[in-house]
Amino acid sequence: MVKMTIDGRQVEARDGAMVLDVAKAHHIYIPTLCANESVSAYGACRLCMVDITTKNGRNRLVTSCLYPVEEGLVVKTRTERVDAHRRMLIQLLLARVPGSKEIRDMAKRLGADGTPFPQEDPAKHHNCILCALCTRACAEVVGQSAISLVNRGVERQMAIPFFEDTEACIACGTCSYICPTGAIIMTDANGKRRFEMPHNTMEFELAKCSKCGRYWAPKKQIAWMAKKSGQPMEFFDKCLDCRD
């Protein structure tokens, strides 16, 4: 355990924890867009910047999602400088995805009333902020890496290989659940699961429960679950509700 200070409070934190974890544990709000406990920290949105002073007296701004706690660390989660940078960052995002309600709400919370930058066409990025939560979840949680980030810099996009239907996607929808801006829209209708990704759409067939007759999971995901679990395919004939 290490002893440290966060916003004036003396706290203890376990070795290896990140500053963001400590803040959360003590109910201190730090805005984040690319952090999620299910996946490894990434440090792309930079909103979780905090002011730190080490016990040697070195003062700087760091991303709290990636900065490991240390003995004697003094953290300030809100300073004038931190707030100003967060406002600037969210204003940059507002210009990128003006159609995103989540970003507009966060901007309001961070004290940004609109953006000084020219707003892009909402149809250009479809609310995608390139936080890479979807791609990390697909790789680290599902283990499929069906989606990834392609191109460099301003051309960067979330994509499936060559924007064509991909074998690797099992239609589980993890990417849609984890997306902080609703940029991946998943709908189940007429025996099909449909994904509207920022730059392409995909459709998958759903399987019917042999007992109640409801569509309950994508066929590809069932095959994946059977393979992972070692259970026979018959095990997945019934939906979760109808199993004994």
Partner 1 sequence: MKRLSSPSELERLRASILKNRDPQKSVVNICGGTGCMALGCTDVIKAFREEIAAQGLADKVEVRVSGCPGFCERGAIMTVEPQNIFYQRVRRKDVAEVVTKTLIEGKTVDRLLYPDLATGKRVVHESEVPFYTKQKRLLLAHSSQIDPENIDDYIFFGGYGALAKALRGMKPDQLIEEVKASGLRGRGGGGFPTGRKWETTRHAEGEIKYVICNCDEGDPGAFMDRSLMEGNPHSVLEGMIIGAYAIGAHEGYIYIRNEYPLAVKNAGRAIKQAEEYGLLGDNILGSGFNFHVKISRGGGAFVCGESTALMASLEGKVGEPRAKYVHTSEKGLWDRPSNLNNVETWANVPLIINNGAKWFAGIGTAGSKGTKIFSLVGKVRNTGLVEVPMGITLRAIIFDIGGGIPGNKKFKAVQTGGPSGGFIPEKLLDLQVDFDELTRVGSMMGSGAMIVMDETNCMVDMAKYFIHFLLGESCGKCLPCREGLKQMHHILTRITGGQGTEADINLLQNLCSTLLDTSLCALGGSAPNPVLTSLKYFRDEWDAHVNEKRCPAKVCKALITYEISEKCPNCGQCVKVCPEKAITPRGKKQPVVLNQKKCIKCGSCYDVCKLDAVLVK
161 or 237, CB closer to partner 1? 161
Q: How far is the CB of 96 from partner 1 (least distance, A)?
A: 6
The CA distances from residue 101 to 105, 120, 178, 238, in Å, are: 6, 15, 16, 38
Q: How far is the CB of 129 from partner 1 (least distance, A)?
A: 8
95 or 185, CB closer to partner 1? 95
Q: How far is the CB of 189 from partner 1 (least distance, A)?
A: 35
Q: How far is the CB of 130 from partner 1 (least distance, A)?
A: 7
Q: How far is the CB of 105 from partner 1 (least distance, A)?
A: 17
CA angle in degrees (0–180, nearest 5) for 163-174-213? 100
16 or 230, CB closer to partner 1? 16
95 or 110, CB closer to partner 1? 95
For binding to partner 1 (CB under 8 A), which residues are involved? 43-47, 49, 61-63, 66-68, 81, 84-85, 88-89, 92-93, 95-96, 116-118, 129-130, 132, 149, 151-156
67 or 236, CB closer to partner 1? 67
27 or 152, CB closer to partner 1? 152
- Phi/psi region, residue 109 (left: phi>0; alpha: psi -120 to 50; beta: rest), is alpha
Looking at the chain, how many residues does it have?
244
* Distance between CA atoms of residues 94 and 113, nearest Å: 10
Three-state DSSP string of 113-148: CCCCCCCCCHHHHCCCCCCCHHHHHHHHHHCCCCCE
- Phi/psi region, residue 89 (left: phi>0; alpha: psi -120 to 50; beta: rest), is alpha
Q: Are 102 and 31 in contact (CB under 8 A)?
A: no
Any bridge partners for residue 205, and if so which? 192
Q: How far is the CB of 93 from partner 1 (least distance, A)?
A: 7
